């Protein structure tokens, strides 16, 4: 019998733990499931072969002490925080809950674009002032959505952009046909995608290769009046270069959910730009998050049992 240790935050309430236990019992009744919210509790639990976690700070100590752990499944969609830790990756399989954010972040991106194209910020301000003043409206139909990173989240954006009548292009590490995408380019063709796009959605994870990916050279080739939405990682977009592009009017607007430093410091110039919408890293928030993340773990487990492969395996060398 495989033993699964679910490491959840101490703030997790008992109802949520019971839900996770029930979901796993319904889907994988043969598993022995235990929970821990501290290193001490984890070390006193039955020795697990599988660790399901968000990536607690004490995780390296646990893995070193428990050689029985062969597989770590992250309840988060990204793995960069785990890959930066001192772990014996040579003996571990790593998977993530990639895809768990596709729908809710896809919704967020379109909301962030509509905020600017429909001038909702201006109308909200007018409402507070009880001021009736009409203004021009723009539309998305016929414009081009460029998606930097056509993974699960990028594909979630693509299907929604298509519903608005947009042409969709994007980049993918291994180019090939992608549903709802008109043009798929390799990473080396990033500038081609940026030149053609009216809206640019950045979804790529943070890796050594994507740090500072959108910098001065990239802003220089973007279409005048383009809208940028960053839902990937803060360090992927050079914030100084973004600020300069916004102040110089090279970009029309930006919607930003992730930042190099979070919370975004009070002295960041981004706070003071009228054409920037800032949200506190909430694009992926949904009441259904935990249920979806557990479902991804279940799919991985079943795939491993059937085919000996994980559906959302992490390539440690690639960084995601």
Concerning whether 233 is annotated as a catalytic residue, the answer is yes
**Peptide linkage before 263 cis (omega within 30 of 0):** yes
Task: Confirm if 108 and 257 have CB atoms less than 8 A apart.
Answer: yes
Pick the catalytic residue: 247, 262, 302, 309? 262
Q: What is the DSSP letter of 44?
A: H
Pick the catalytic residue: 81, 281, 295, 299? 281
CB within 8 A of 141, min separation 6: which ones? 164, 165, 166
In what helix (H) or strand (E) does residue 85 lie, and over which residues does it extend?
A: none
Q: Is the dihedral of CA 133, 136, 139, 145 positive or negative?
A: negative
Pick the catalytic residue: 93, 116, 233, 252? 233
Concerning whether 262 is annotated as a catalytic residue, the answer is yes
Concerning whether 66 is annotated as a catalytic residue, the answer is no
- Residue closest to 6 by CA, chosen among 67, 71, 61, 88: 71
Active site residues: 233, 262, 281
């Amino acid at each position: 019998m495989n033993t699964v240790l679910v490491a959840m935050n101490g703030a997790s309430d008992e109802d949520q733990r019971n839900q996770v236990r029930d979901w796993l019992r319904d889907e994988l009744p043969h598993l022995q499931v235990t929970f821990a919210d501290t290193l001490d509790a984890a070390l006193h639990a039955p020795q697990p072969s599988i660790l399901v976690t968000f990536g607690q700070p004490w995780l390296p100590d646990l893995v070193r002490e428990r050689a029985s752990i062969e597989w770590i499944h992250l309840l988060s969609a990204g793995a960069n925080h785990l890959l930066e830790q001192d772990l014996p990756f040579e003996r571990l399989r790593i998977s993530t809950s990639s895809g768990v954010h596709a729908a809710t972040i896809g919704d967020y991106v379109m909301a962030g674009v509509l905020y600017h194209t429909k001038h909702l910020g201006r109308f909200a301000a007018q409402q507070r002032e009880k001021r009736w003043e009409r203004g021009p409206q723009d539309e998305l139909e016929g414009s081009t959505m460029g998606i930097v990173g056509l993974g699960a989240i990028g594909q979630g954006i693509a299907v929604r952009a298509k519903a608005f009548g947009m042409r969709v292009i994007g980049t993918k590490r291994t180019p090939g046909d992608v549903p709802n995408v008109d043009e798929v380019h390799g990473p080396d063709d990033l500038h081609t995608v940026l030149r053609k796009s009216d809206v640019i959605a950045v979804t790529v994870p943070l890796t050594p290769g994507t740090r500072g990916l959108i910098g001065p050279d990239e802003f220089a080739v973007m279409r005048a009046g383009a809208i940028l939405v960053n839902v990937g990682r803060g360090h992927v977009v050079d914030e100084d270069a973004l600020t300069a592009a916004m102040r110089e009017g090279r970009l029309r607007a930006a919607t930003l959910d992730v930042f190099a430093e979070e919370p975004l410091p009070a002295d960041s110039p981004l706070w003071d730009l009228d054409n920037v919408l800032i949200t506190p890293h909430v694009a992926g928030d949904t009441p259904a998050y935990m249920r979806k993340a557990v479902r991804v773990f279940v799919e991985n487990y079943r795939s491993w049992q059937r085919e000996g492969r994980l559906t959302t395996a992490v390539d440690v060398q690639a960084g995601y």
